[in-house]
Amino acid sequence: MDIRTYDEAERRARESVAAWQLLRLFSPVTFDKSEFPTRAGTLYDLLPLLDAMHGGRMADFVRERGGFGEDDVDAIANALACFVEFHRRTFGGPEALLPIASMVSQYLIYTKIQGFPKRARVLEIGSGCGYLSFFLASDPAVERYDKIEITQSLYVLQALVDAHCYGGAFENRALRPPQLAQVGLLRLEGSQLFSTRTTVTVSTEPRSVLHPWWRIDDALTRSYDVITANANLAEMRYGALVYYLTAIKRCLADEGVLVIQCLGSQGGGVSRPTVIKTLQELGFRPLVLVAGPHDGKHFALDNLLLIGPRHPDYQSAPASFDSPAFLSDHPLVRSIYGLDRPPGSSVSGSDFVKATVKRLPQKPSSTPV
């Protein structure tokens, strides 16, 4: 998707909102206050965003996983190799960035989603750079991955990433072709201004759907097995937080889960205690609620695994958010947090570079004639 087309679609949307307060409510308030580049003017304005998250945290992510096994390294290296192809096709040039820490962070989120057996329908709220697609696109158990993004620069980046990862199975909800102009279409005797248009109807069910801020409700009226919101709930205005969480409670399937990795920065939205209080007031209950080391297990960031009132285990889950929780005997917790996997090893950025390079197309060696 090109930037000009997004901006024009957004301009039309701004003209049609029910009240100006909605424009304020669903704006990236924390990004704006921190002077994050929320708007791109050209494709190359996206380059500084490609590795802008999670710098210096890779070792913490590896530690939270309990070390990485060969399968972990393979999955991340495959994603990075796919990213290199995306980078070269999108931005050109002989070099491609390797966003290792950002990709490891998204892999950690993916392993939590992967640990949930019923994950056919996934929704991500605030999908950032869109790197989770590099993992979900190759997971056959995920039949549909919806996401919501309200920031123009990140939306355009995600649209490019998803078009690369999903191809024709990607649907961009910011795109809405204009209605055919009602001029020159009449079949008048002796007058035919142009040849007949030939069209086909495409009925393919999308596997990935990206929603801009003006089509949030399209996503929030569906049902999902897994909903994830990472590093953004505390960055919203309070009204937006309540709107999202109320909709999430309704959108979760009866046995669905809400997975949160990091509540977000405290620089412009609501406070972390306000997010926790709102979750409790709306009736969620935690299977996991930790912010740092807990019972000998390391956590790089806030980690929450929540269920709604229709979940079969709701009555037995803690009703209060006042104390940390980590129900390590619960099958879902064991699966989602990989408690029964064998311990892995420490890995470094150079290990991922080597593994990624092996997966890249190699220039054929020249043979002397």
In a domain? residue 75: yes
- Residue 297: strand pairing partners: 294
Q: What's the rounded mean pLDDT across residues 32-47?
A: 96
d(C-alpha 320, C-alpha 279), whole Å = 10
pLDDT tens, 222-242? 999 999 999 999 999 999 999
What's the average model confidence in pLDDT over 89-104?
95
pLDDT band, very low/low/confident/very high, at 369 (cuts 50, 70, 90): very low
Domain count, the chain: 1
Residue 351 lies in a domain: yes
Residue 272 has pLDDT above 60, yes or no: yes
pLDDT at residue 195 in the model:
64
Distance of CA 134 to the CA centre of its chain: 10
Mean pLDDT, residues 275-297: 95
Give the helix/strand (H/E) hosting 91.
helix 70-91
Q: Is position 112 within any domain?
A: no
Give the tens place of pLDDT for each residue, 186-206.
777 666 666 667 888 887 789
Mean pLDDT for the chain overall: 93
63 lies in a domain? Answer: yes
In the block, which residue shows the tokens 């142009």? 194
Query: Does residue 309 form part of some domain?
Result: no
Confidence of residue 366 (pLDDT cuts 50, 70, 90): very low
3-state SS, residue 72: helix
- Condensed to tens digits (0 to 9), the pLDDT of residues 3-24 reads 999 999 999 999 999 999 999 9
Q: Is residue 61 part of a domain?
A: yes
Whole-number Å distance between alpha carbons of 73 and 347: 9
Residues facing 294 on adjacent strands:
297
Query: What is the pLDDT, as a whole number, of residue 191?
Result: 67
Nearest to 249 by CA among 274, 276, 220, 229: 220
35 inside domain? no
Distance CA 44, CA 280 (A): 43
Residue 154 within any structural domain of the chain: no
Q: By residue range, what is the domain housing residue 83?
A: 56-99+344-360
Residue corresponding to tokens 């129900």: 327
Share of the chain above pLDDT 70, in %: 96
**Looking at the predicted structure, is the pLDDT value of residue 253 above 90?**
yes
Q: What is the pLDDT of residue 51?
A: 93
Q: Are 99 and 51 in contact (CB under 8 A)?
A: yes
Evaluate if residue 153 carries a pLDDT over 60.
yes
